[in-house]
């Protein structure tokens, strides 16, 4: 059935009017409900949910280890003495009575403060934050006593710290800088200070432009008018050739002592002779009949054995320089060959005795386990030491010197607790004499030293770097409801240069070294 347009319009109007009336009825009902609802109920429904309570700050215990102790760099004089502080998370450092903490620049992990007299460094927990609360477990103060020992150098002494390597031209020229107390070295704009040297005793610096080396006072006294200070120290040139004189070559080689001689005892001569060579830039050396050139680093001294048989029928030995390209030495013969240095190995009719030092004092330590006899040793001699056995027989043992030049004998004690005597004597190598070849003795006792634990005073304990017989201090206390512990050794204080430290604690347990006893 066909519907007229008029009828369709009327239908749509009727639907629209119905929806409007329904909407008005719903609004009227909502208004009525709202008017009937108490005001408090409406407010409660409109407010947001309450915010969660803030979290309590977390307590963090900041432990200071021995490696984190402030470290005193006690340099010559007092102008350059500093204490180096390590940055700690949750702790601040204060100098003396200062109320402002030491600041660390940028991302730096250390900071240095200059000191010239006895100084106290205090450690405090960092200020609390919303997230963290810090408490300190470790020393609250450190005491340092820098010394004021001035040192000065002459120009010749300063030059002695430098070894120039001057090769033909400028390529490869360099200088070996030796660390000198109270002195930094400056080449161009680069300063070679403690940081540059690190743990090394020497540093090699290139000199591509023939640069000079300037000494810079860093605690030591250097004369302002000194040529080395004002003009620098030169040691290389741009010359394409290096010319050595006969005198320079003769000074570089000489008859060596006898470090390889295995035969001990008095007498002339030696079973193995050596040539002592001090290296020069651009030179190697042939020793006697050996065709192989020995290369020695500039400034380094070595002992080269004389080839077997070379001194069987003669006392003269030729040591010839072998120059590299661009190096000139005196020559002889046709065709020209480097002129050798002639060394005379004839045994002298007299010899200058080697000075034998006295034994190092204070070797009789507490108890029996730490007693040692320390003897300074020189080249060309050895120390022999021993004790009488149960049959009263005295047996000597040869002592080997360590890298520090000292020979050490460990004392053996008997079970009866009586003092023991060690006999020792200096014995020269073949071909040498000593100033005192007599038998000497040293007596060692077995008495034990009593060690007492440091006293607690107002909840703190003072620990000293000079404590004798202490292996470690074990400290404990309660922090944040828990028992926390920390341990320090006298060596920790010595390494940091600290005289003493003060540590808050509730108890002290002392670890005693062998040979000592507790009170």
Render pLDDT for 85-122 as a digit per residue (tens, 0 to 9). Answer: 999 999 999 999 999 999 999 999 999 999 988 999 99
Residue 21 lies in a domain: no
Both 442 and 493 in a single domain? no
Q: How do beta strands 316-323 and 337-338 pair?
A: unpaired
Q: Provide the domain limits for residue 92.
A: 59-144
Closest CA to 512 of 474, 472, 476: 472
Higher pLDDT, 231 or 56: 231
Statement: residue 386 has pLDDT above 60: yes
Structure-token pair, residue 210: 């023939």
Structure-token pair, residue 94: 């204060």
3-class DSSP state of 39:
helix
Residue 312 lies in a domain: yes
Both 439 and 487 in a single domain? no
Residue 210 lies in a domain: yes
Residue 196 lies in a domain: yes
Statement: residue 3 has pLDDT above 70: no
Categorize the per-residue pLDDT at 70 as very low, low, confident or very high, splitting at 50, 70 and 90: very high
**With contact defined as beta carbons under 8 Å apart, do 344 and 314 qualify?**
no
413: left (phi over 0), alpha (psi -120 to 50) or beta: beta
Residues 133-146: pLDDT tens digits? 999 999 999 999 99
Model pLDDT, residue 364: 64
Q: What are the φ/ψ torsions at residue 69 (nearest 5 degrees)?
A: -60, 145
What is the chain's mean pLDDT, rounded?
83
Residue 53 lies in a domain: no
Looking at residue 209, what DSSP letter applies?
T
Model pLDDT, residue 291: 93
Statement: residue 270 has pLDDT above 50: no
Residue 222 lies in a domain: no
Buried b (16+ CB within 10 A) or exposed e, 392-418: eeeeeeebebeeeebbbbebebeeeee
Based on the structure, what is the number of domains in the chain? 5
Categorize the per-residue pLDDT at 192 as very low, low, confident or very high, splitting at 50, 70 and 90: very high
In angstroms, what CA-CA distances link 5 with 11, 15, 17, 19, 51?
Answer: 10, 16, 19, 22, 62
Statement: residue 358 has pLDDT above 80: no
Categorize the per-residue pLDDT at 4 as very low, low, confident or very high, splitting at 50, 70 and 90: very low
Write down which residue in 344, 378, 393 finishes a domain: 344
Q: What is the mean pLDDT of residues 386-391?
A: 87
% helix / strand / coil in the chain, to the nearest 5? 15, 40, 45
Model pLDDT, residue 47: 62
Higher pLDDT, 467 or 10: 467
Statement: residue 276 has pLDDT above 60: yes
Statement: residue 27 has pLDDT above 90: no
Both 288 and 362 in a single domain? no
Closest CA to 408 of 431, 366, 439, 442: 442
Instruction: Identify the sign of the CA torsion 257, 259, 263, 265.
Output: positive
Structure-token pair, residue 311: 């001194």
Model pLDDT, residue 351: 65
Give, for 484, the enclosing helix (H) or strand (E): strand 482-488
Both 442 and 359 in a single domain? yes
Regarding pTM above 0.85, the answer is no
Instruction: Mean pLDDT check: name the lowest of 2-11, 227-236, 328-337.
Output: 2-11
Model pLDDT, residue 30: 46
Write down which residue in 344, 368, 389 finishes a domain: 344
CA 508, chain centre distance (Å): 30
Write down which residue in 405, 424, 447 finishes a domain: 447
Rounded CA gap, 249 and 280, in Å?
A: 9
Find the radius of gyration of the CA atoms of the chain. Answer: 41
Model pLDDT, residue 349: 63
Rounded CA gap, 242 and 236, in Å?
A: 10
In angstroms, what CA-CA distances link 221 with 79, 197, 218, 233, 468?
Answer: 11, 21, 8, 17, 36
Model pLDDT, residue 66: 94
Higher pLDDT, 49 or 134: 134
Residue 455 lies in a domain: no
Portion of the chain with pLDDT greater than 70, in percent: 83
């Amino acid at each position: 059935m066909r519907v007229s347009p008029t009828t369709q319009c009327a239908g749509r109007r009727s639907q629209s009017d119905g929806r409007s009336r329904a909407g008005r009825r719903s609004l009227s009902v909502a208004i009525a409900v709202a008017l009937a609802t108490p005001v408090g109920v409406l407010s409660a429904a409109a407010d947001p949910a309450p915010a969660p309570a803030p979290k309590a700050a977390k307590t963090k215990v900041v432990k200071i280890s021995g490696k984190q102790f402030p470290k005193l760099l006690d340099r010559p004089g007092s102008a350059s003495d500093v204490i180096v502080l390590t940055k700690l998370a949750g702790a601040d450092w204060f100098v003396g009575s200062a109320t402002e903490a030491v600041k660390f620049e940028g991302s730096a992990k250390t900071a240095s403060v200059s000191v010239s007299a006895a100084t106290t460094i205090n450690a405090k927990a960092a200020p609390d934050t919303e997230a963290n609360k810090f408490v300190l477990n470790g020393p609250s103060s450190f005491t340092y006593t820098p010394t004021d020992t001035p040192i000065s150098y002459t120009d010749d002494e300063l030059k002695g710290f430098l070894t120039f390597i001057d090769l033909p031209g400028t390529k490869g020229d360099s200088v070996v800088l030796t660390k000198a107390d109270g002195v930094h070295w400056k080449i161009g704009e680069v300063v070679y200070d403690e940081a540059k040297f690190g743990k090394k005793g020497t540093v090699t610096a290139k000199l591509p432009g023939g640069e000079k080396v300037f000494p810079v006072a860093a605690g030591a006294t250097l004369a302002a008018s000194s040529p080395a200070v004002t003009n620098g120290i030169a040691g290389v040139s741009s010359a394409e050739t290096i010319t050595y004189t006969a005198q320079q070559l003769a000074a570089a080689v000489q008859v060596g002592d006898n470090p390889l001689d295995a035969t001990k005892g008095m007498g002339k001569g030696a079973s193995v002779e050596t040539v002592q060579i001090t290296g020069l830039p651009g030179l190697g050396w042939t020793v006697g009949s050996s065709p192989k050139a020995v290369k020695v680093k500039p400034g380094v001294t070595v002992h080269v054995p004389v080839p077997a048989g070379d001194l069987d029928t003669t006392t003269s030995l030729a040591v010839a320089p072998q120059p590299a390209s661009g190096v000139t030495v005196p020559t002889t013969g046709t065709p020209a060959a480097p002129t050798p240095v002639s060394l005379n190995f004839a045994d002298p009719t007299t010899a200058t005795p080697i000075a034998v030092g006295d034994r190092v004092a204070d070797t009789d330590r507490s108890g029996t386990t730490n007693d040692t006899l320390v003897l300074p040793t020189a080249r060309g001699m050895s120390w022999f030491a021993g004790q009488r056995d149960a049959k009263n027989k005295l047996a000597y043992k040869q002592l080997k010197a360590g890298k520090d030049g000292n020979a050490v004998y460990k004392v053996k004690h008997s079970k009866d607790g009586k003092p023991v005597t060690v006999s020792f004597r200096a014995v020269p190598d073949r071909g040498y004499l000593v100033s005192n070849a007599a038998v000497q003795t040293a007596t060692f006792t077995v008495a034990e030293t009593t060690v007492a634990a440091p006293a607690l005073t107002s909840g703190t304990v003072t620990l000293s770097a000079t404590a004798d017989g202490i292996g470690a201090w074990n400290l404990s206390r309660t922090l944040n409801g828990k028992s926390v512990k920390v341990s320090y050794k006298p060596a920790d204080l010595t390494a940091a240069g600290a005289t003493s430290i003060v540590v808050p604690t509730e108890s002290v347990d002392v670890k005693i070294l062998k040979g000592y006893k507790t009170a």
